[in-house]
Amino acid sequence: MGIFGRFLTGLRLAKGSLAVLVDHPRLLLFPLVGGLAGVVYLGTLLGGTFGLLEPERDAVVYGVLLLVYAGSTFVASFFTAALMHATRGTFRGESPSVRRSLGAAWSNAGTLLVWSLIAAVVGVVIRAVEESSSIGGKLVALLFSVAWAVVTYFVVPVVVFEDVSVRGAFSRSGSLVRSVWGESLGAEAGVSIVSVLLTGLGVLVAVLLFAVLPTDTAAGLAVAAAGGGTTILLALLVGYALTGVAKTALYVYGTDGETPRYFSGVDFGNEG
């Protein structure tokens, strides 16, 4: 399959993922709650350490950065795991169960936490290299960051579906990436484009609301802001959920060799 074929596969994966969300809008609850939890966590952490973040205290800055990365990654991984669990159920014709899917994520919370801590350490190291090195060092940091993202692409679905250790999740994720690397890259490209278009549409709607609605009064400004903000938020939620659904479909294909429901138009391995 050529590059163009991979790209088309990615767009079809995005289309199938969007169909899943249309039929099961409840799936959007996972990124919504996860996003709110992330905001609360960051607000609490940064609010409590704001006075400590002085430029000359690098140890404190990197310590807080580590906590930010670890907590944010854990929250995102936890609710992504729940989203993927619910999504896989929809492939079997089941209605998404928020409680059951959160329970599945909770049963693997320890592994997800360890994974988040490791990912946070890697993130802080990459950040330190970027800030203290030459152009060559920055390039090395960039390449390592990309390689890390590729190798760990399937860590979360492996953890939630296979109940393995973090070490096993790394190994298994790398194996899956090697087997469907082209489809993974195509999915990322396709879903990213759709997500950007949705976000752009959300921003356009927000601008139109401000242009059409009377904003010379407090009430009119509040309505326009609420409508525009809601539209943009919905676009971001859909984009995040699309990534989770598409990755779940790739995982199912990579492990079972089957084309999941909603993706019958995607020829994962033979697109030319």
CA 100 distance to own-chain centroid: 21
- Given this model, what pLDDT does residue 271 score? 41
Question: Is the model's pLDDT at 195 over the cut of 70?
Answer: yes
Which amino acid type is present at position 89? Answer: G
- DSSP string computed for 74-95: HHHHHHHHHHHHHHHHHHTTPP
For residues 116-120, average pLDDT: 92
Question: Secondary structure of 144-172 in the HEC alphabet?
Answer: HHHHHHHHCCCHHHHHHHHCCCHHHHHHH
- How many helices (H) and strands (E) are present in the chain, helices listed first? 10, 0
115 vs 59, residue with greater confidence = 115
**Alpha-carbon distance 97 to 196, whole Å?**
29
Burial class (CB in 10 A: 0-12, 13-18, 19+), 92: exposed
Question: Is the model's pLDDT at 222 over the cut of 70?
Answer: yes
pTM of the model: 0.83
Neighbours of 32 (CB within 10 A): 17
Summarised one tens digit per residue, pLDDT across range 61-89 is 667 778 888 888 999 999 999 999 999 99
**Predicted confidence band at 272 (pLDDT cuts at 50, 70, 90)?**
very low
5 vs 243, residue with greater confidence = 243
6 vs 85, residue with greater confidence = 85
For residues 144-154, average pLDDT: 88
Mean residue pLDDT of the chain comes to: 81
216 vs 170, residue with greater confidence = 170
Summarised one tens digit per residue, pLDDT across range 230-251 is 777 888 888 889 989 989 998 9
Summarised one tens digit per residue, pLDDT across range 30-71 is 999 988 887 877 776 665 544 445 555 566 666 777 888 888
Residues in the chain: 272
For residues 239-266, average pLDDT: 87
**Predicted confidence band at 187 (pLDDT cuts at 50, 70, 90)?**
low
266 vs 160, residue with greater confidence = 160
